[in-house]
Amino acid sequence: MRILIATVKVPFVNGGAETHAAGLRNALIAAGHRAEIVSVPFKWYPPRRILDQMLACRLLDLTAAGDAPVDRLIGLKFPAYLIPHPNKVVWILHQHRQAYDLWQHPMGDLHAQPHGAEVRDAIHRADVELLPQARHLFANSRNVAARLKTYCGIEAAPLYHPPPDAPRFHSAQAEDFLYFPSRLNALKRQRLVVEALAHTRAKVRVRFSGPDIEAGYHEECMAVARRSKVHSRIEWLGTVSEQAKRDLYARCLGVLFPSLDEDYGYITLEAMLAHKPVIACADSGGPLEFVVHRETGLVCEPAPRDLAAAMDELWEDRDRARRWGEAGRQRYSDLRIDWGTVLERLLQ
Amino acid sequence: MKVLILTSGVPFIRGGAEILAGGLCDAVCAAGHQAEILTLPFQSCPPSRIPEQMLACRLLDVTETCSMRIDRVIGLKFPAYLVPHPRKVIWLLHQHRTAYELWNHPAAGDLIHYPDGPVVRDAIRLADRTFIPEARSIYTLSRNVTERLQRCSGIASEPLYNPPAGASLFYKSTPQDYFFFPSRINPVKRQWLVIQALALCREPVCVRFAGEADNEAQQAECAKAVRELRLSERVEWLGMVTEERKRDCYANSLGVVFPPVDEDYGYVTLEAMLSSKPVITCVDSGGPLEFVVDGQTGLVAGATPQALAEAMDALWGDRRRAATMGETGLQRYRDLKITWENVVEKLLC
């Protein structure tokens, strides 16, 4: 089949969404299809620009490429999943969250902008009317499916996919640190971890890796660490290579992933692949689909003292931490998170 | 600087434009900037969808990304170069040619066959006239494209030449008894004209063709002409060759024959010059005429079998002159400063 993957590209930014699209393309090609990614640039401010870009997507034509038809379109991200096609399947990575769960939320700002409500309504209308035009609807996770159901009344089946290079993760003897790999920003909540360190009984150590993507956030976290005198227990590694990242997963005692309402979160899966327990928060979203409390990790309230208690638990009982990590690896296998399963369902 | 290269493409198809965009992206990065290519999908059939895709381009916003300024946008192809940006430059590869000089071309014309063709053609022309001048600077692939833009849209621009891929790897060697003609095999490149010319040569001229035919019928037609004119001893079809083999064929040739119809630019001419070989081209070949100086770096012949035959005979019979022309061609390439550094400097200035 000739298959196009429609997604959004924010120029000069690479994140999970790009990795996801590339992984899907590679899996399709490996299965003998011709597949390519079509990206539409997206800029969400000022809000009215969103309307223009939704219209732009509706005007594009991906029914054919040159003289030959495109057999299947797989839409991933708003507004690229609005591009029309008679054989479209949508696998929603996420909707435009500012118009939904982040509306009136401190992390969102659409509600505070001129014409915000008008644009939110237009996004709702487009999603409600146009998403059901797809032959099948899938969501990146149960969390994304639940949001689609809550806000748009539309059903979608969760469809999990593996993180990139899944077979290359490995495990090693646990050393004296918890690992938190993520881009540094408020949604990921590195700051919460720094605050928690001031409350741990044990001298818990944490290594952070990931690029700075929010001006001032890293400095803010470091300032908090210095004020509460925990800075010597923290290492900021910045951007690390994929190999170094896998190595850190392998050697850590456990993985911290307390971010806010994550859609999916490769980090949970990568930790499971490295046989490590995961600490997530009760409002972390995606990770909660995978972390089984007190079986493969810990789920705590998003407050410094609660997080500190969870970190102490792993730190003080290494043997139990190891067992939870092993159980996590087993759970990954049981969930059948592999590209073969993904393609079977997307192309059914 | 953050530099976004904007182009249009047909999914699943890679051609010269994609290679050029890749070369530009590498060169901008090599100059210490951040560069990324954004390829918007373009479907030209049915024509009624073209204005909608032009509108889509106008609706996109690439002025910033995550609150960071995109410092420069470089537009290459229609309709992607219509995307608005305050610091846009256009390096025009070509306009939508079937709305212009190919409108009523017997083989290439497409819009002309649709009832709404004229309306779409006029919309394309209006958009080009209105929006191309929004760019800060307008460069083109070649003088040929610059002249068309002036003639068709009344817009002034400057040609900006780029080197062929792997430019530093071309070399020269002792000439053997053949002319080289590397190109896709199709009526526009005019392999058939060369075959007819061979039948009229007085000297025992031989030609090696490299490249794939666009379709089997075209290959069969050429093969048939060779048989009928009893030229099989003097013609060799190499088919698709590796870049390395191609460079060897250039290096060992006596000269290069490149007589296409109104080529936009033509890397073949430049590759010949880099291999110190004279180029035989035709008066209506377009791009190659910007580089071939008749009688100094090659020969410009009339577009007839007889005229082309005379040109091939002339170089076949005077190897020393052919070698001198080749050397002069290489010198001319150097004088023209055809480098990516020069391209990047102009586009980011």
Separation between Cα atoms, residue B347 and residue B26, nearest integer Å? 14
> Sign of dihedral through CA atoms A261, A264, A268, A270?
negative
Question: Are B179 and B132 part of one and the same domain?
Answer: no
Facing B11 at nearest CB: one of A38, A53, A57: A38
Per the CB < 8 A criterion, the answer to whether A285 and A257 are in contact is no
Lowest mean pLDDT among A102-116, B264-278, B291-305: A102-116
Domain boundary, last residue among B125, B160, B195: B160
Confidence at residue A203, expressed as pLDDT on a 0 to 100 scale: 96
Q: In this complex, is the C-beta atom of B120 within 8 Å of any C-beta atom belonging to chain A?
A: no
Q: Could you say which of B160, B195, B226 is where a domain stops?
A: B160
| Residue B349 domain flag | no
- At A10, is the secondary structure helix, strand, or coil? coil
Shortest CB distance from A43 goes to which of B40, B41, B64?
B64
Residue A165 Cα to chain centre, angstroms: 16
| ipTM of model | 0.85
Both B144 and B228 in a single domain?
A: no
Same domain, B147 and B192: no
Residue-wise pLDDT for A154-170, tens only, equals 999 999 999 999 999 99
* Residue whose C-alpha is closest to residue A183's, from A275, A262, A282: A262
Q: Look at the alpha carbons of B139, B145, B150, B155 in this order and tell me if their dihedral is positive or negative.
A: negative
Same domain, B26 and B117: yes
Identify the contact set of chain A against chain B, taking CB-CB distances under 8 A. Answer: 2, 4, 9-13, 34, 36, 38-41, 43, 45, 49, 52-53, 55-57, 59-68, 70, 213
Q: For residue B136, give how far its alpha carbon lies from the nearest alpha carbon of chain A (Å).
A: 21
Contacts of A183 (CB under 8 A, 6+ apart): A15, A210, A211, A212, A213
Q: B69 touching A, CB under 8 A?
A: no
**Same domain assignment for residues B259 and B284:** yes
Contact call for residues B53 and A63 (beta carbons, < 8 A) = no
What is the 8-class DSSP label of residue B52? H
Q: Is B86 exposed, middle or buried (0-12, 13-18, 19+ CB in 10 A)?
A: exposed
CA A70, CA A57: separation in Å to the nearest integer? 17
> B17 lies in which domain range?
2-160
* Cβ contact B52–A59 (<8 Å): yes
Residues of A in contact with B36 (CB under 8 A): 11-12
The CA distance from A267 to A282, in Å, is: 16
**Check: CATH 3.40.50.2000 for A2-159?**
yes
Which of B3, B48, B59, B70 is the mutation pick for testing A, counting most A CBs within 10 A?
A: B59
Single residue among B103, B133, B160 that ends a domain in this structure: B160
Q: Is A179 exposed, middle or buried (0-12, 13-18, 19+ CB in 10 A)?
A: buried
> Do residue B155 and residue B44 come from a single domain?
yes
Query: Can you tell me the mean pLDDT for B166-190?
Result: 94
Q: Is B15 on the interface with A (CB under 8 A)?
A: no
Entry pTM: 0.86
The label of the residue with tokens 């100086």 reads B293
Q: What's the rounded Cα separation, in Å, for the pair A196 and A313?
A: 13
| B148 and B201 together in one domain | no
Contact A41 B57 (CB under 8 A): no
Q: Are residues B40 and A40 in contact, defined by beta-carbon separation less than 8 angstroms?
A: yes
Round to whole Å and give the CA distance between B321 and A288: 79
Reading the block at residue A288, the tokens are 């909660």
* Average pLDDT, integer, range B176-184: 96
Residue with tokens 């005692």: A253
Å from A326 to nearest chain B CA?
Answer: 40
* Closest-CA residue to A281 (of A162, A190, A211): A190
pLDDT at B69: 95
| Contact (CB<8Å) B62/A11 | yes
Query: Which residues in chain B have their CB less than 8 angstroms from residue A2's CB?
Result: 12
Quickly count: other Cβ atoms within 10 Å of residue A223's Cβ.
14
B2 close to A (CB below 8 A): yes
Nearest-angstrom CA–CA distance, B308 and B192: 12
Sequence-separated (6 or more) residues with CB below 8 Å from residue A187: A107, A259, A260
pLDDT at position A108, please?
A: 87
Is B172 found in the same domain as B80? no
Which are the contacts of B24, defined by CB distance < 8 A and separation ≥ 6? B5, B35, B74, B76, B91, B162, B340, B343, B344, B347
Do B153 and B257 reside in the same domain of the chain? no
User: What's the CATH code of the domain at B221?
Assistant: 3.40.50.2000
Section A137-151 average pLDDT: 95
Residue B345 lies in a domain: no
Report the run of H or E that residue A35 belongs to, with start and end: strand A34-41
Average pLDDT over residues A326-332: 97
Which of B45, B61, B110 to mutate to probe the A interface, most A CBs <10 Å? B61
Tokens 């915000």, located at residue: A116
Question: What 8-state DSSP symbol labels residue A177?
Answer: -
Q: How confident is the model at residue A18 (pLDDT cuts 50, 70, 90)?
A: confident
Mean residue pLDDT across chain B: 95
Quote the tokens at residue A14: 């690479």
| Residue B344 within any structural domain of the chain | no
Q: Number of A to B CB contacts under 8 A, please give it.
A: 91
Answer yes or no: do B156 and B188 share one domain. Answer: no
Domain with CATH 3.40.50.2000 in chain A: 2-159, 166-334
What do you get for the CA distance between the two ends of chain A, in Å?
Answer: 12
pLDDT-based confidence at B66, cuts 50/70/90? confident
Instruction: Return the pLDDT at B218.
Output: 86
Residue B224 in domain: yes
Other CB atoms closer than 10 Å to residue A70's CB: what's the count?
25
User: Residue B240: exposed, middle, or buried by beta-carbon count in 10 A (0-12, 13-18, 19+)?
Assistant: exposed
Distances, alpha carbon B81 to alpha carbons A103, B88, B94, B101, in Å: 35, 9, 11, 19
B14 pLDDT above the threshold of 90: no
The tens digit of pLDDT for each residue in B305-344 reads 999 999 999 999 999 999 999 999 999 999 999 999 999 9
Spatial CA neighbour of B159 closest among B175, B173, B145, B176: B145
Residue B204: pLDDT band with limits 50, 70, 90: very high
Q: Is residue B142 part of a domain?
A: yes
CATH architecture classification, A166-334: 3-Layer(aba) Sandwich (3.40)
- Of all residues in chain B, the one with the smallest CA distance to A35 is B12
Give the integer Cα–Cα distance in Å for B76 and B73: 10
Split into its structural domains, chain B has a count of: 2
Work out the minimum CA distance from B29 to partner chain A, whole angstroms: 13
